[in-house]
Amino acid sequence: MLILAVVFGTTAGGSADFNYVPGYSLLLTAYAFCVDVFYFSLIGIGMLYLRLWPGSNWRYKSPVPHPVGVACAVVFTATNLFPLICIWIPTSTEPFLALSEGIIPWWASQTFVLCVIAASLLYWFGFRLYLDQMKKRRGLVLDIIRQPLFMSDRNTRDLIQAYEIIRLDWTAYDSKSSETDASGVTTTELDGLDEGGHRRDWRTSTVTHTTA
């Protein structure tokens, strides 16, 4: 996106004078469309899923009354889907993006965002395929090792997670030692001893999540 901003800025201003306005307008519109509209629409759909799906028990866990929660989710989703749909309706009087010096078409930002999202999905599926091939051909799985570190609150003495150390490690696949939960995700928890053979404190415990 930054490369496109530089290209459009150079094109608008010429080689002697760089104009950042067209590129900035493209970046701002694409960011608003991707983050503030597209992802919020997905969040709204997810809220409705948690509230209305027959197998979901979110209605019993949420402190908000179920009818109020559904109404809020509907309003939130509708207010985000409206600009998501209307941004694709062309206007004969505005063929170009606002403040783009007449060089960026009105559909450029949303189309570019959809291309980025499609590319990210292709990357995700390709990476999952790569993990599956590593597991089948070499017997290796990629482990995500998370080490959360906690600090004690001065007032309540409750433990608060300060940060988390994440490491990636290729390990040999062992189908016998792996446990599959109800959601189909395979996880393995390391023993309670650290590298020196001492009992590891639960506040700095290390948990391994197998992605394959």
Count of helices and strands (H, E) across the chain: 6, 5
151/147 Cα distance (integer angstroms):
13
Residue that terminates a domain, selected from 123, 157, 180? 123
Distance CA 59, CA 50 (A): 8
- Indicate whether 45 and 88 sit together in one domain: yes
In a shared domain, residues 115 and 26 = yes
Distance CA 4, CA 8 (A): 6
Domain boundary pick from 56, 90, 123: 123
Angle (nearest 5°) at CA 61 between 59 and 66: 25
What pLDDT, on the 0 to 100 scale, is given for residue 49? 93
| Residue 204 near residue 149 (C-beta atoms within 8 A) | yes
- Domain range for 205 is 138-210
Query: Given this model, what pLDDT does residue 193 score?
Result: 43
**Grouped pLDDT means (10 residues each) for the chain, 212 residues:** 54 56 81 86 93 87 89 94 89 76 80 90 95 91 87 80 87 67 44 46 46 46
**Predicted pLDDT at 150:** 83
Task: Examine residue 132 and state whether it is found in any structural domain, yes or no.
Answer: no
Same domain, 117 and 147: no
Per-residue confidence (pLDDT) for residue 204, from 0 to 100: 45
Q: Which two tokens stand for residue 31?
A: 């960011």
Q: How much is the pLDDT for 194?
A: 47
- Which of 70, 92, 123 is where one domain is finished? 123
- What's the per-residue H, E or C state across 9-43? HHHHHCCCCCCCHHHHHHHHHHHHHHHHHHHHHHH
